[in-house]
Chains A and B, each alone.
Chain A
Amino acid sequence: MNALPWTIYFSFAGALLALVAGTHSAAVARRVALTTALAGLAAAALAAARFVPGPGMQDLQDVAWIPELGIRYHLAADGISLTLVLLTGIAATAGVLFSWNIEERVGEFFALYFALIGGVYGVFLSADAFVLFVFYEIAIVPKYFLIANWGSTNREYGAMKLVLYSFVGSALVLAGLLWAYAAGGGKSFALADLVRTAAGFSRTEQLAMFALVFLGFGILAGLFPFHTWAPTGHVAAPTAASMLLAGVVMKLGAYGCLRVAMPMFPAGLAFWQPAIAWLAIAGILYAGLVALVQEDFKFVIGYSSVSHMGFVLLGLASANPRAVSGAVLQMFSHGVIAGLLFAVVGRMVYERTHTRRLADLQAMPLHRWLPFPALVFVLAGLASMGMPGFSGFPSELTILIGAWKTSPVWALCAGAGVLVAAAFTLRAIQVAFFGRANRHEAPSHRIEAELRTDDNVETTPALATPHHPYAPISWPEKAGALLLIAATVYIGLRPDFLLRWITPALESPMLQAILKGGTP
C-alpha cells in the first residue's frame, strides 16, 4: 500500500523531467513519459497486489501541513481509491502510447500531461478535504493548455469552456467546503472530521451545502444539464487528453460526489436524491439521443461519455451498496472504454484520414484500409454497449439492479438508455467502418484529392489496391489498444477482481451511514 503515494510523486517528477528532456530531444522526452507512466502503473499494481481489502481508508501518509488551519497532508486509500488509481495508471500509460506521434513541443506536452495525472492521483488518495481540493485544482489548468496547444477543431473555445466549467465547479466545491469547515468550528479539514461535524448542522444548512458541493463535483462528472463542456472540450482535445479527460478526469467529479458530498451531508443526499437521479437519467437518455445524430465521429464518443457517466451518477444517487459498487465499477470500465474509443477516433482514424465527418468516413472502406482500428472499435463498441464479456456489462447491470432496489422507475428509464447506447454505438460502427463505399461508388471529393497524390491512382482504382494511402498502425498504438482491451475484457470476465476491493470499502462507517439496503 505504501507504494501508492509514489504515483503522485513519480508523476510530478516525470513532468519536470519531461520538460527538461524536451528541450534536448523529443525522443528522450517520450521515453521519460513512458517510464513515468509505467512507474505510476507499477506503483499502483504493487499496491494492489499487497492490498488487504477492508472498510475505511488505510493511512498512507499523515503529516502536519498547515497547523494554523488544522490542515494535514493526509493520504489514505480504500478499495475505491485503489480501483481508480489503477485506472489512472492504465489510462495514463495508454495515453502516452497514443501521443507517441506528437512532434511539437513534446516536453511541454508531457509536462502538462503528468501535472494533470499527478493531480488526479492526488485526488483519489486524499483523506483531507483541503489536500483533495488542492490536487483537484492542480488538475484543472493543464487541461487548458493541453487542449489549446495540441488540440484540433475549435480548440481555444473548447479549452476555455472546459476549463471555466471545471473551475466554476471547483469554486462551488470550495464555497461549500469552506462553509462546512467554518460552521464546524474551523478546526480540521480531515474528511472524517468534516463528516462528524457536519452531522450537527441544521437541515437547511445541509441541503444548501450538499447542493453546492455535489453540484460542483457533478459538473465535472458531466451532470446534465451542465455537461456541455464535455463533448466540446473532449472533441477539441488531443487524443491523449480526450482519453484522460473522459476516462479519468470526469471520474474525479464522481469520486468527489461519493467521497465528500454524500457522506458529509446525508440529509442533503436524502433530499436531493430524486433530483439527481432524474438528472442522471436525463443525461443518459439526452446525451445518448444526441450522440445518435452527430455528424462528427468524435462528438459521438463525446456524448456517449456523458451518457455513460449518467449511469455512474444514477448509481451514486441510488445510494445503496449494490448501485454504488456498480457505479465505481462503471467508473473503471468507462475509463478504459472511453480511452479506447477516443484512441480509435482521435488517433488511429483521424490522424490518418484527417476527417472525422461520418459522411466522409462512410465513403471509405475503412474496415479494409484500417482493419486493426476497426477491430478495436468494434470491441470497444461492444464493451460500451454492455455486451457480456466486457467490463461494461457487469458494471451497468449492477447499477441497474441497484437502482431498481431504490426505484424501479429509475431502472426502467435508465434501461432504455442502454438501448440508446446500443443504437448510437452500432450506428457509429456501421457508418464509420463499414460504410457504403465500394469500387462502384465514387468516394467523396476530399478522398479523391488525397488519393491523387498516389502515383498509380490514374491507372488503378485506389480501393482495389492493397496500398491504401495511410500509414500502418504503429507499435505504440497497438500496445496501447491491447492494454486497454485486456483491461476491459479481464474485468468483464472477472468483475470480482475489483468488486472484492470495492464492496468492503462501502462498509466503512462513513459510507455505511448513507447507503441503505444491506450488503450487496
Chain B
Amino acid sequence: MNVAYGDLLRAFLPETCLVAGALLVLAVDLATGRRRARPERMATAAVVGAIAVLAAALGTLAMGTSGAAFGGVLVLDSLSVATRLGVLLLAFLTLLLVGPLVRLPHPAEYVAVLLFATAGLTMMAAAQQLLLAFVALELASLSLYILAGFDKSRPDSAEAALKYFLFGGISAAFLLFGFSLIYGLTGSIELPEIARTLATQPPGPLLAVALVMVLVAFGYKAAAAPFHLWAPDVYQGAPPSSAALIASASKLAGFTLFVRLLWGGLAAPPGVPSWGAVAAILAAVSLLLGNVAALAQTNLRRLLAYSAISHAGALLLGVIVAGRAGPGPLFYYAATYGIATVGAFGVIAVLDRAGGCQTIADLAGLHRRSPLLAGCLAVFVLSLAGIPPLAGFFGKFVVFAEALRAGGLAGAPGWLALLAIAMSAVALYYYLQILKQALVAPASPIASRLAVPATAAAALVAAALLLLGLGLYPSVLLRLFVSG
C-alpha cells in the first residue's frame, strides 16, 4: 500500500487535532506555566484541551460518513462518527470537570495524557483492521493506566493504576493471541476480508479458541464478570476525573470496537454467531454479580463500579442483538450511560475537592449543601437506574425490546432481557440508597455549603439536560442508524 500522507492526515483528522492539542498543552505550560499557581495552570491546560476536543469534533463532522478510508483501515460509517462524537463529548465534559477541580501535580501532563487517551478511543471507534484496532486500544489503555495513577500523593491511586495495568496487560495479551489466531486462520487483518474467508470455512476448534480469547479480552476491558475484578479498585482509587473517562468514553469506544469486530468480522455463519453463547453467559453473570454485589457496597465509587459491571451485562446484550437490530440500541445505551457516569463522577469530583467523597454517607445532606449538585446527582443516578423520562430508561427499553424481538423467549437474548428487567428492580434499591443520602439524610453539623465552580456546574447541568433531552427524544440518536 502506498502511503499517501494527505489521506492519512484526513482519515485521522480528529486524532491529529487531539495529538496536536496535547502537544500544545505541554508547550503552553512549558512556556508560561512555571511562574504560575497550579490551579491556574490546570485551567489553562483544560481550556487548550477543550479547544482541541472541539476541533476534533468539527473534524469528525467535516468528514461525515464517507465509508472506508485510508485503504480500508478505517471505516467512517454512522456508528464510527457517532461514537467519535460521543467520545469527544464525554472527554469534553471530563475536561470541564477537570479544570477547576483536580489538584494534581503536573496539570499539563494530565490533560495531555487525557487527550492521548481520547485520541486512542476515537481511533478505536473507527478501526476496521485488527492491527489498528490493537494499536488504538493500547494507546487508549496505556494512557488510561497513567490517568488512574496520576494522583501520586495517594497510595490507592497507585494501587488502582497497578491493578488496572496488570489486568489490562493480560487482557491485551489475550487479545493479541486471539488476533494472531484469526490472522492465521484467514490470512487477513481486514475485518471484511476476515468475514468473507470465515464464511467459506467450517467452524473449527481453532476459531473457537480465538473467539474465546477475544471475548475474554473484551470482558476485561468492559469490566464484565467474571473479568471485572479490577473495576472496583480502579473506580475507588483513581482521581474522579480519570475514573469518569475510564467508566464512560472508554466503555463507549470499547463496545463500538467490540460490536464491529464481532459482527463485522467474526459473525460467521451469518445470523447464528458462534460467540453468542459465550457473550450471553458473560452478560448473565455480569447482570447477576454486578447487581447483587452492589447491594453490599458502602463506598460510593465501588458501588458505581458494580453498577458499571451490571450495565456491562446489559451492554453485552446490546452487542448480541446488534446483528439484527443494528448498533443503534447499543450506541444509545452506551452513550447515555457514559453521560450519566461522567456526571456522577463529576459530582464526586466536586465533593472530593471539598473534603473527600468515598462512602455513600459522605453525600449526606447534599440537598442542603448544594441543591444544584443534589439535583444533578438525582438525574444521573435515576438515569442509571432506568427511570423515565431519563435516557437510561429508554436505553434499557430499546435493548430489551430488540432482544425480545430477536426471537421472543425462544432464544437466550429474550431470557437475558427478562433477567435484566428483574435485576433492574434490585438495582433500584442501591440507587435509592445513594439518593437517600443525597436528598433525604440531614447534613452533618460540620458540613458547610459547597461552592461549585462555574465550569463544573455547566458540565453537570449540560449532562443532566442531555439525559433528559435524549430520554424525551430518543429518535435523535436512533435515527442515525436506521439507514446506516
Among the listed stretches A162-170, A276-284, A361-369, which one makes contact with chain B, having 4 or more residues with CB under 8 Å of it?
A162-170
Q: Is A121 an interface residue (CB 8 A)?
A: no
Q: Is B36 an interface residue (CB 8 A)?
A: no
What are 12 A-B pairs at a CB distance below 8 A? A133-B388, A134-B393, A138-B388, A144-B432, A156-B440, A160-B432, A178-B401, A178-B421, A179-B404, A181-B404, A181-B405, A182-B408
Nearest CB in chain B: distance from A209 CB, A: 10
> Quick check: B439 and A66 within 8 Å, CB to CB?
no
Chain B residues with CB under 8 A of A182: 401, 404-406, 408, 414
Q: Is B422 an interface residue (CB 8 A)?
A: yes
Chain A residues with CB under 8 A of B408: 179, 182-183
> Quick check: A149 and B475 within 8 Å, CB to CB?
no
> Quick check: A69 and B404 within 8 Å, CB to CB?
no
Chain A residues with CB under 8 A of B397: 130, 174, 178
How far apart sit A108 and B439, CA to CA, in the bound complex (Å)? Answer: 10
Chain B: CB-nearest residue to A212 = B418
Query: CB < 8 Å: which of A23, A68, A138 contacts B482?
Result: A68
> Quick check: B436 and A148 within 8 Å, CB to CB?
yes
Write the B405-440 contact mask toward A (1 if CB under 8 angstroms, else 0): 110110000100110011011001100100110011
Chain B: CB-nearest residue to A208 = B409
> Quick check: A66 and B474 within 8 Å, CB to CB?
yes
Chain B residues with CB under 8 A of A518: none
Chain A: CB-nearest residue to B475 = A66
Q: Is A67 an interface residue (CB 8 A)?
A: yes
> Quick check: A175 and B425 within 8 Å, CB to CB?
no
Q: Is B192 an interface residue (CB 8 A)?
A: no
Chain B residues with CB under 8 A of A65: 475
> Quick check: B418 and A175 within 8 Å, CB to CB?
yes
Chain B residues with CB under 8 A of A178: 397, 400-401, 404, 417, 421
Q: Is A145 an interface residue (CB 8 A)?
A: yes
> Quick check: A138 and B389 within 8 Å, CB to CB?
yes
> Quick check: B424 and A171 within 8 Å, CB to CB?
yes
Chain A residues with CB under 8 A of B474: 66
> Quick check: A186 and B405 within 8 Å, CB to CB?
yes
Nearest CB in chain A: distance from B61 CB, A: 23
How far apart sit A179 and B405, CA to CA, in the bound complex (Å)? Answer: 8
Write the A168-196 contact mask toward B (1 if CB under 8 angstroms, else 0): 10010011001101110010000000000
Nearest CB in chain B: distance from A175 CB, A: 5
Nearest CB in chain A: distance from B354 CB, A: 22
Q: Is A37 an interface residue (CB 8 A)?
A: no
> Quick check: B422 and A171 within 8 Å, CB to CB?
yes
Chain B residues with CB under 8 A of A171: 421-422, 424-425
Write the A135-173 contact mask toward B (1 if CB under 8 angstroms, else 0): 001101100110011000000100010011001100100
> Quick check: B428 and A164 within 8 Å, CB to CB?
yes
Interface residues on A, range: 20 to 34
Q: Is the interface of A mostly helix, strand, loop or mixed?
A: helix
How far apart sit A144 and B478, CA to CA, in the bound complex (Å)? Answer: 32
How far apart sit A130 and B401, CA to CA, in the bound complex (Å)? Answer: 11
> Quick check: A148 and B405 within 8 Å, CB to CB?
no
How far apart sit A174 and B401, CA to CA, in the bound complex (Å)? Answer: 10
Nearest CB in chain B: distance from A201 CB, A: 10
Q: Is B467 an interface residue (CB 8 A)?
A: no
How far apart sit A196 and B99, CA to CA, in the bound complex (Å)? Answer: 56
Chain B residues with CB under 8 A of A163: 428, 432
How far apart sit A69 and B429, CA to CA, in the bound complex (Å)? Answer: 29
In the complex, besides A133-B388, A134-B389, 11 extra interface pairs with C-beta distance below 8 angstroms are A134-B388, A145-B440, A148-B436, A156-B440, A175-B421, A178-B400, A178-B421, A182-B406, A182-B408, A183-B404, A186-B405
**Known: A163-B428, A167-B428, A183-B408. Contact between A69 and B388, CB under 8 A?**
no
> Quick check: B475 and A67 within 8 Å, CB to CB?
yes
Closest 9 CB pairs of A and B: A182-B404, A186-B405, A134-B388, A182-B405, A68-B478, A171-B425, A148-B440, A168-B425, A175-B421
Nearest CB in chain B: distance from A226 CB, A: 13
Chain A residues with CB under 8 A of B479: 68
How far apart sit A138 and B388, CA to CA, in the bound complex (Å)? Answer: 6
**Known: A68-B482, A134-B388, A134-B389. Contact between A149 and B439, CB under 8 A?**
yes
Query: CB < 8 Å: which of A137, A156, A168 contacts B388?
Result: A137
Chain B: CB-nearest residue to A187 = B405
> Quick check: B389 and A174 within 8 Å, CB to CB?
no
> Quick check: A69 and B424 within 8 Å, CB to CB?
no
Nearest CB in chain A: distance from B117 CB, A: 32
Chain A residues with CB under 8 A of B219: none
Write the B428-462 contact mask toward A (1 if CB under 8 angstroms, else 0): 11001001100110000000000000000000000
Chain A residues with CB under 8 A of B394: 66
Nearest CB in chain A: distance from B390 CB, A: 10
How far apart sit A270 and B163, CA to CA, in the bound complex (Å)? Answer: 59
Chain A: CB-nearest residue to B410 = A183
How far apart sit A144 and B381, CA to CA, in the bound complex (Å)? Answer: 14
How far apart sit A137 and B475, CA to CA, in the bound complex (Å)? Answer: 20
Q: Is B382 an interface residue (CB 8 A)?
A: yes
Chain B residues with CB under 8 A of A108: 367
Chain A: CB-nearest residue to B482 = A68
Write the B147-183 contact mask toward A (1 if CB under 8 angstroms, else 0): 0000000000000000000000000000000000000
Q: Is B387 an interface residue (CB 8 A)?
A: yes
Chain B residues with CB under 8 A of A133: 388
Chain B residues with CB under 8 A of A179: 404, 408-409, 414, 418
**Known: A68-B478, A149-B439, A178-B401. Contact between A141 and B382, CB under 8 A?**
yes
Query: CB < 8 Å: which of A145, A160, A174, A181 contacts B439?
Result: A145
How far apart sit A69 and B382, CA to CA, in the bound complex (Å)? Answer: 23
Write the A89-118 contact mask toward B (1 if CB under 8 angstroms, else 0): 000000000000000010010000000000
Nearest CB in chain A: distance from B1 CB, A: 39
Chain A residues with CB under 8 A of B414: 179, 182
Chain B residues with CB under 8 A of A156: 436, 440
Chain B: CB-nearest residue to A138 = B388
Q: Is B343 an interface residue (CB 8 A)?
A: no
**B residues 300-342 in Cβ contact with A at 8 Å:** 328
How far apart sit A156 and B439, CA to CA, in the bound complex (Å)? Answer: 12
Nearest CB in chain A: distance from B321 CB, A: 11
Chain A: CB-nearest residue to B332 = A68
Chain B residues with CB under 8 A of A160: 429, 432
**B residues 187-217 in Cβ contact with A at 8 Å:** none
Chain A residues with CB under 8 A of B418: 175, 179
How far apart sit A163 and B426, CA to CA, in the bound complex (Å)? Answer: 11
Q: Is B398 an interface residue (CB 8 A)?
A: yes
Chain A residues with CB under 8 A of B406: 182
> Quick check: B404 and A137 within 8 Å, CB to CB?
no
Nearest CB in chain A: distance from B225 CB, A: 21
How far apart sit A69 and B398, CA to CA, in the bound complex (Å)? Answer: 8
Chain B residues with CB under 8 A of A174: 397, 400, 421
Chain A residues with CB under 8 A of B387: 137-138, 140-141
**B residues 464-482 in Cβ contact with A at 8 Å:** 474-475, 478-479, 482
**B residues 362-404 in Cβ contact with A at 8 Å:** 367, 371, 382, 387-389, 393-394, 397-398, 400-401, 404
Chain A residues with CB under 8 A of B328: 68
How far apart sit A178 and B393, CA to CA, in the bound complex (Å)? Answer: 14
How far apart sit A108 and B388, CA to CA, in the bound complex (Å)? Answer: 19
How far apart sit A108 and B328, CA to CA, in the bound complex (Å)? Answer: 37
Chain B: CB-nearest residue to A182 = B404
Chain A residues with CB under 8 A of B389: 134, 138
**B residues 61-98 in Cβ contact with A at 8 Å:** none
Query: CB < 8 Å: which of B425, B436, B478 contacts A164?
Result: B425
Nearest CB in chain B: distance from A210 CB, A: 15
Chain B: CB-nearest residue to A64 = B475
Nearest CB in chain A: distance from B277 CB, A: 21
Chain A: CB-nearest residue to B375 = A19
**Known: A149-B440, A175-B421, A179-B409. Contact between A66 and B388, CB under 8 A?**
no
How far apart sit A464 and B225, CA to CA, in the bound complex (Å)? Answer: 72
Chain A residues with CB under 8 A of B424: 167, 171
> Quick check: B432 and A186 within 8 Å, CB to CB?
no
Chain A residues with CB under 8 A of B439: 145, 149
